[in-house]
Structure formats: C-alpha cells, structure tokens
Amino acid sequence: MPDNYFARYLPLLLQVGIALALAGGMVILSALVGKHRYSRAKMSPYECGMTPVGDARERFSVKFYLVAMLFILFDVETVFLYPWAVLLKELKMFGFWEMMVYIGIVLVGLFYVWNKGVLDWSGTPRISVGTPAMTAGPADAPGSTPVFSAPVEGSRS
C-alpha cells in the first residue's frame, strides 16, 4: 500500500466526492420525481396560517454576535492547547507550568466576560423592555420575541 502523505488523504477526498454525489443526487432525484402543483398559500413563508408581516431578515439580538466572538476567542485558545497536550509527556513539569501561565490568562478573560454579563442571556437587554419599539410590530426588537424575553426582576448591570 502506498504510504505517503497523498495516499493518506486520497481516500478522504474520495469519500467527500462520493458523499457529495449522493447528496446532490438526492436533491436532483427528488426534484424530478415529486409532483409540482403550486398555489398562493404554498408560495408564502410558513407562519402557522398567519399572513406574514414584513421580511424575515430583521435585526436580531447582538448577543448572537457576542457569542460568535467569544467562540472564536476560546476555540482558538483550545486549539493552542492541542499540540501541547500531545507533547506533554516529553515536556513534563516545565511544560505544565508554562501552560498554567497561559490557562491563567484564559481564565482571567473568562471571568472578565462573565463579570461583564456577556454570558447572561436573561436580564441584560433592559433597553428593549417596555420601549415604544416593542409595540411597533411583531418582528422588530429582538428582545420582544418570546425566545429571549427577559424576566425584568433580577436584571443586573
């Protein structure tokens, strides 16, 4: 069996190709096989029988951006741990203490965002509770959607 870098990754490429062909084939086949009969109701977004108001791509809560940013920070920090973890048996105590410095910095960052209330999903968006924007329409302020509606009591910062 050829044992070089390319040979290790070639089956992976083949797998991607076969999976892609399978997935693409399914989409094409179901488009060809199924019947197509259109009506007005079918052509509008599904909202449990209500007539949709406005576009779906409204602004949404800034929390989602914050989580995405935190993810990038902490995931990169996790990836930094991987090579160290694999080599720890050779690095021994020296490697351990070195990494403790790094993990200490990560922990300081974690407790900073924790204290700032970034990790709290309820309580912080006090601005949107009871403001005129809330009564304007069904899909305006993200704080008004039932998903993240904040309990007013116990809100911090």
Partner 1 sequence: MSGNLSVGWFVLISVIKILIAVPILLGIVAYTVWLERKLVGHIQNRWGPSRVGPFGLLQPIADGLKLFFKEDLTPPYVHKALYLLAPILSLTLALTSIAVIPVGGWVTIRGARIPLQITDVNVALLIILGITSMGVYGVALAGWSSNSKYSLLGSLRASAQMVSYEVALGLSLVGVLILSGTFSLRGIVEHQLGGFWNWNIFGGGQIVAFFIYLCAAYAETNRIPFDLPEAETELVAGYHTEYSSMKFAMFFMSEYANMVTVACLASVLFLGGWSGPLFGPPVLQALLPVFWFFLRVLFFLFLYIWVRGTLPRFRYDQLMAFSWKFLLPLAIANVIITSLVVALRS
Tokens of 2: 């050829």
**Which of 155, 74, 153 shows the shortest CA–CA distance to 121?**
155
Tokens of 8: 């290790």
For partner 1, what does the binding mask look like between residues 73 and 102, x meaning CB under 8 A? -xx--xx-xx--xxxxxxxxx-xx--xx--
Question: Interaction with partner 1 in 12-71: which residues (CB under 8 A)?
Answer: 12, 14-16, 18-20, 22-24, 26-27, 29-31, 33-37, 42-48, 52, 55-57, 60, 63-64, 67-68, 70-71
Toward partner 1, which CB reaches closer, 27 or 157?
A: 27
Binds partner 1 by CB under 8 A, chosen from 105, 112, 114, 133 = 114
Percent helix, strand, coil in the chain, to 5, is 60, 0, 40
Toward partner 1, which CB reaches closer, 90 or 153?
A: 90
Euclidean distance between CA atoms 111 and 115, whole angstroms: 6
